[in-house]
Amino acid sequence: MHTLKLRVNDGVYDKLIWLLSKFNKDEVEIIPETSDFAKNQKYLAGELDEILNEQAKFVEMDEAEQRLENIIKKHEGSI
The amino acid at 66: Q
0.75 exceeded by pTM: no
What's the whole-number average pLDDT of the chain?
91
pLDDT at 79 over 80: no
- H or E stretch covering 17: helix 10-21
The SS3 assignment for 35 reads helix
pLDDT at 69 over 70: yes
The amino acid at 38: A
